[in-house]
Chain A
Amino acid sequence: MAMDAHDIERLIKAAIPDARVEIRDLAGDGDHYAATVISESFRGKSRVQQHQMVYAALKGSMGGTLHALALQTTTPDGR
């Protein structure tokens, strides 16, 4: 089962409106992605909490229809 990169970006931006999202399709199979998400809303949060925000935005797709999403999260100034 695969998921379109645009769908991933749309879901993340719906939940985290200021997010800058960059998605790479690692294997070209629509199933293995790497995403960088930059948002002010990550400030002061642990990496686990930041990733949980993105997973929540994906509404259960992660680990289901979305098999592999390597995730990197940061604030605009890299904290």
Chain B
Amino acid sequence: MSIQEFIDKEVKSNDVVLFMKGTPQFPMCGFSGQVVQILDYLGVPYKGLNVLESDDLRQGIKDYSNWPTVPQLYVKGEFVGGCDIVREMFQAGELQDFLKGKGIPAREGAQA
């Protein structure tokens, strides 16, 4: 299985996937850490994939989405964005609505 096939399978078989530096328990980068905090705050179940464990994955995810940086958040197979976009959506309350629209349980009334 190629790295692109692996990424595609992860993205499509998990409702919420975060490609990040480090793990949800131990983020190794401030940007990844911010997205972890937001998802945890909203109580959203998600799978974290650590790109620091594999150079193939680290490069592969950038090619997969045509997006040059990590973290990258995917919901139901769709690329939502990196740290800036996720934070902007969260602060505007859009992320909560977006998740709800996708049928993902998120805590009510949670705002920055």
Contacts and interface: CB of A to CB of B under 8 A. Distances in A.
Interface of A: 47-48, 51-52, 55, 60, 62-64, 68, 70-72
A63 B79 CA distance: 18
Contacts of B66: 52
A47 B83 CA distance: 12
A27 to B, nearest CB: 12
Interface of B: 31, 62, 66-69, 79-85, 88-89
A70 B83 CA distance: 8
B69 to A, nearest CB: 5
| Secondary structure call for the A interface | mixed
A63 B69 contact: yes
Contacts of A71: 84
A52 B81 contact: no
A70 B67 CA distance: 14
A60 B85 CA distance: 19
The 10 closest A-B CB pairs, nearest first, are A63-B68, A62-B68, A47-B85, A63-B69, A71-B84, A55-B68, A70-B84, A48-B81, A47-B81, A48-B79
A51 B82 CA distance: 10
